[in-house]
C-alpha cells in the first residue's frame, strides 16, 4: 500500500502536563468505547501521579448502549456525565479522542487545554496537542504515551481490557487494523478475555439490526466497475462492517463502501474481494486530505472530518462524493502485471545506485527466530522463510524490499558493520520479527548489516503521468502503487523485475548513467 508519510503533531509528552494539581479529562459527546478507554488510561496515569482527576463527557445524551454501560461497570471506570458546566474547569482540561472546539464535543469553559486525538487536525486551540491520525484508535495513542512514561499498564488488568476493547471497536473488530503500533499494543496488553466476550456480544441493538436491513435496500450500484455504495442511518461503526460484509456476498459486487454520519463527520467501511483493489489503499483514497483510513487488503475503514469535508466540498452531497470518488479511483489507475511484459527500455532512462551504504538482512540471518518468521513493518506483516536464498534491503524509511539471493550478491557488497542509529532516525516504525518460540518481538535491526552498492546496481526508470498498480513478479497477489510523478522502474539485469520508485528516492539514491 502506498503511504506518503503519516501526519502528526509535535509529540507532546504526558510529563509536560504534570504541573497541574487538578486534571479534567473530557471524552467527546456520545462517547464510544475508544474514547472511554483512552480517557480511562489518562485518568489512571494522573490519579497515580497524585492529581485530583475527573473523567467526564457532556452533550445531550447519556450513555445508553449496553456494551458501553457494561464496560464502565465491569472495568470500574469512574465516568461522569456532565450535561452542562457554567464554572470554568479548575486546572487543566484534556479532550481525548476529540479536539476542543470541534463539532462533536461540548465546549466546556476552560483556560488551560490539552488535546490528545487520533483524528486529523480540525481546530487549532492550543499548543499542547498530540495528534496521530495514522493510528487505528486513540487508545493506541494513549498507550504509546503511557509507554513513554514507563507507566506499568500491564499491572492494571481493567485498564488493559479497556484499551484492548477500545482498539477492537474502533477498528471494526480488528478487521481495519493496519498500524504496526496498534498491533504491538494488542499483543502486549494484559486483558480479561471473558469481559471482552461479554462486551462483544452486547454490542448490536434490535434497532441497529433494523438499520442494517433497511440500508441494504438502498444500494447504489456501479455496473461498469462493479462497486456498491450504501448510506446507512446512524449506528455503531461495527454495524457498517456487518452491512459491508453481507453486501460483498452479492454476485457482481466486487468492492463496496458503507458509511454513515455523526456530529463530527463520516465513518465508513470498505470491502474488496478482488486482488486489483486493496481495501486499505481505497480507504486512504476516499479520505485523502479530509480524514484518515487504513486496514487490510480485503477489509478497511476510515473517518472523514465533517469540517474538512465541508471546506473542500461545500455543495456536494455525501452520496455523490462517495460515488464520484469511487469512480475516480477506478479511472485513475492502470494495472500492470510484470510477469506478462518486460520494461520498455527504449522509453526509459538508465540509473545507477549511488555509493551510499544500505542496510540489508538475509533470510537465513533470522533462523534463530524460527523456520518461518513473521516480520511486522509499517506497511503490513510479511512471512519470511529462513530456509530460502532471499535477502531484504532495509530502506531508511523502514520499508523492507525483497531481493533474490543471486541478484543480491551481484549488486551489493556485504560487510560486517551494524546499522547505525542515524540510519533509522527517519523510520516511523522499525520492523520487528516475532520469535516463534516465546512470541517476543525483536527489532530487525539486531540482524541487519550494512552493504555498499556495486557498479552493477543499475535500473531503468520512466516517470509516470497517471496512477499505476504494478503486480511484481515476486508477488502476484498484491501490488505496488504509483501516483503521477513517481517512477516505473526495472532492474537492468531483469526487465520483468518491475517496481515503483518514488521521485524522492530516485533523486536521493540514484544518478543517471548513460547507455
Three-class secondary structure of residue 308 per DSSP: helix
The pLDDT of residue 264: 83
pLDDT for 90 beyond 60: yes
The pLDDT of residue 497: 92
The pLDDT of residue 6: 38
d(CA 198, CA 170): 17
pLDDT for 349 beyond 60: yes
The pLDDT of residue 10: 54
pLDDT in tens, 447-468: 999 999 999 999 999 999 999 9
Among the three residues 149, 165, 200, which one is the final residue of a domain in this structure?
200
Kindly state the cell numbers that stand for 175: 478487521
**Residue 515: pLDDT band with limits 50, 70, 90:** low
**Residue 154: pLDDT band with limits 50, 70, 90:** very high
- Specify whether 314 is located in the same domain as 362: no
Mean pLDDT of 169-174: 88
- Specify whether 359 is located in the same domain as 391: yes
Residue 371 lies in a domain: yes
Residue % of the chain over a pLDDT of 90: 72
d(CA 118, CA 138): 5
pLDDT in tens, 275-299: 999 998 999 999 999 998 888 889 8
Among 101, 160, 161, 167, which residue's Cα sits nearest to residue 138?
A: 167
Backbone φ and ψ of 162, nearest 5°: -65, -45
- Specify whether 277 is located in the same domain as 362: no
- Specify whether 425 is located in the same domain as 483: yes
The pLDDT of residue 5: 33
- Specify whether 87 is located in the same domain as 106: yes
Residue 1 lies in a domain: no
Three-class secondary structure of residue 295 per DSSP: strand
Assign residue 160 the CATH number of its domain: 3.90.1640.10
Q: Which residue has the higher pLDDT, 152 or 381?
A: 152
- Specify whether 367 is located in the same domain as 308: no
Assign residue 277 the CATH number of its domain: 3.10.310.30
**Residue 488: pLDDT band with limits 50, 70, 90:** very high
Residue 64 lies in a domain: yes
Among 466, 455, 509, which residue's Cα sits nearest to residue 488?
A: 466
**Average model confidence (pLDDT) for the chain?**
91
Among 149, 215, 195, 179, which residue's Cα sits nearest to residue 33?
A: 195
Number of domains in the chain: 3
Among 436, 482, 439, 443, which residue's Cα sits nearest to residue 462?
A: 482
Which structural domain, as residue segments, surrounds residue 487?
341-512
The pLDDT of residue 421: 85
pLDDT for 3 beyond 60: no
pLDDT for 7 beyond 90: no
Among the three residues 180, 200, 220, which one is the final residue of a domain in this structure?
200
* 35-44, 120-129, 332-341: segment of lowest average pLDDT: 120-129
- Specify whether 119 is located in the same domain as 229: no
- Specify whether 308 is located in the same domain as 227: yes
pLDDT in tens, 17-62: 999 999 999 999 989 999 999 999 999 999 999 999 999 999 888 9
d(CA 167, CA 185): 9
Mean pLDDT of 215-221: 90
pLDDT for 4 beyond 80: no
Is the pTM higher than 0.75? The answer reads yes
**Residue 199: pLDDT band with limits 50, 70, 90:** very high
The pLDDT of residue 16: 96
pLDDT for 426 beyond 90: no
Three-class SS of 197-254: HHHHCCCCCHHHHHHHHHHCCCEEEECCCCEEEEECCCCCHHHHHHHHHHHCCCCCCC
pLDDT for 476 beyond 60: yes
The pLDDT of residue 9: 43
> Please, what's the b/e burial string for 174-183 (b: 16 or more CB within 10 A of its CB; e: otherwise)?
bbbbbbbbbb
- Specify whether 400 is located in the same domain as 508: yes
Among the three residues 178, 200, 222, which one is the final residue of a domain in this structure?
200
Residue 217 lies in a domain: yes
Mean pLDDT of 356-361: 94
Residue 2 lies in a domain: no
Mean pLDDT of 188-209: 91
Residue 173 lies in a domain: yes
* 235-239, 371-375, 384-388: segment of lowest average pLDDT: 235-239
Contact 304, 312 (CB under 8 A): no
Mean pLDDT of 320-342: 96
337 pairs with which residues across the strands?
471
- Specify whether 494 is located in the same domain as 360: yes
The pLDDT of residue 510: 95
pLDDT for 206 beyond 90: no
Contact 465, 333 (CB under 8 A): no
Residue 4 lies in a domain: no
Can you tell me which residue has the cell 532471499? 390
Amino acid at each position: 500500500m502506498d503511504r506518503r508519510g503519516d501526519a502528526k503533531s509535535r509529540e507532546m509528552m504526558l510529563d509536560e502536563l504534570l504541573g497541574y494539581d487538578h486534571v479534567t479529562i473530557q471524552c467527546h459527546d456520545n462517547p464510544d468505547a475508544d474514547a472511554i478507554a483512552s480517557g480511562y488510561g489518562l485518568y489512571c496515569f494522573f490519579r497515580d501521579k497524585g492529581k485530583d482527576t475527573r473523567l467526564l463527557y457532556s452533550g445531550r445524551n447519556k450513555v445508553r448502549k449496553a456494551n458501553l454501560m457494561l464496560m464502565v461497570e465491569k472495568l470500574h471506570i469512574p465516568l461522569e456525565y456532565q450535561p452542562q458546566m457554567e464554572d470554568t474547569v479548575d486546572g487543566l482540561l484534556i479532550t481525548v479522542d476529540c479536539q476542543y472546539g470541534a463539532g462533536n464535543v461540548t465546549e466546556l469553559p476552560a483556560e488551560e487545554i490539552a488535546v490528545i486525538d487520533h483524528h486529523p487536525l480540525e481546530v487549532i486551540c492550543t499548543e499542547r496537542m498530540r495528534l496521530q491520525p495514522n493510528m487505528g484508535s486513540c487508545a493506541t495513542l494513549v498507550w504509546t504515551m503511557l509507554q513513554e512514561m514507563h507507566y506499568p499498564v500491564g499491572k492494571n488488568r481493567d485498564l488493559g481490557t479497556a484499551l484492548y476493547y477500545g482498539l477492537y471497536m474502533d477498528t471494526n473488530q480488528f478487521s481495519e487494523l493496519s498500524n504496526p503500533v496498534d498491533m504491538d499494543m494488542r499483543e502486549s496488553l494484559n486483558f480479561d478475555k471473558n469481559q471482552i466476550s461479554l462486551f462483544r456480544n452486547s454490542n448490536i441493538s434490535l434497532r441497529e439490526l433494523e438499520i442494517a436491513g433497511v440500508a441494504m435496500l438502498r444500494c447504489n450500484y456501479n455496473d461498469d466497475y462493479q462497486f456498491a455504495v450504501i448510506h446507512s442511518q446512524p449506528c455503531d461503526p461495527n454495524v457498517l462492517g456487518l452491512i459491508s460484509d453481507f453486501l460483498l456476498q452479492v454476485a457482481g459486487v466486487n468492492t463496496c463502501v458503507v458509511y454513515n454520519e455523526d456530529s463530527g463527520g463520516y465513518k465508513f467501511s470498505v470491502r474488496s474481494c478482488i486482488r486489483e483493489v486493496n481495501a486499505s489503499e481505497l480507504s486512504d483514497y476516499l479520505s485523502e486530505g479530509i480524514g484518515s483510513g487504513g486496514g487490510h487488503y480485503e477489509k478497511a475503514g476510515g473517518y472523514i472530518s465533517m469540517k474538512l469535508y465541508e471546506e473542500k466540498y461545500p455543495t456536494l452531497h455525501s452520496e455523490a462524493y462517495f460515488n464520484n470518488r469511487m469512480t475516480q479511483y477506478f479511472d485513475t489507475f492502470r494495472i500492470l502485471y510484470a510477469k506478462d511484459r518486460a520494461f520498455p527500455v527504449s522509453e526509459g532512462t538508465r540509473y545507477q545506485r549511488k555509493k551510499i551504504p544500505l542496510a540489508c538482512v538475509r533470510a537465513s540471518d533470522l533462523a534463530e527466530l524460527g523456520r518461518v518468521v513473521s516480520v511486522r513493518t509499517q506497511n503490513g506483516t510479511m512471512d519470511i522463510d529462513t530456509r530460502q536464498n532471499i535477502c531484504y534491503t532495509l530502506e531508511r524509511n523502514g520499508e523492507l524490499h525483497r531481493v533474490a539471493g543471486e541478484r543480491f550478491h551481484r549488486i551489493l557488497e556485504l560487510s560486517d558493520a551494524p546499522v547505525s542509529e542515524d540510519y533509522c532516525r527517519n523510520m516511523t516504525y522499525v520492523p520487528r520479527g516475532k520469535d516463534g518460540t516465546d512470541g517476543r518481538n525483536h527489532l530487525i535491526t539486531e540482524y541487519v548489516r550494512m552493504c555498499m552498492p556495486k557498479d552493477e546496481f543499475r535500473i531503468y526508470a520512466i516517470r509516470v503521468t497517471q496512477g499505476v498498480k504494478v503486480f511484481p513478479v515476486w508477488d502476484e497477489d498484491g501490488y505496488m502503487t504509483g501516483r503521477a510523478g513517481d517512477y516505473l522502474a526495472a532492474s537492468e539485469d531483469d526487465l520483468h523485475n518491475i517496481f515503483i520508485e518514488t521521485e524522492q528516492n530516485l533523486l536521493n539514491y540514484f544518478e543517471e548513467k548513460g547507455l
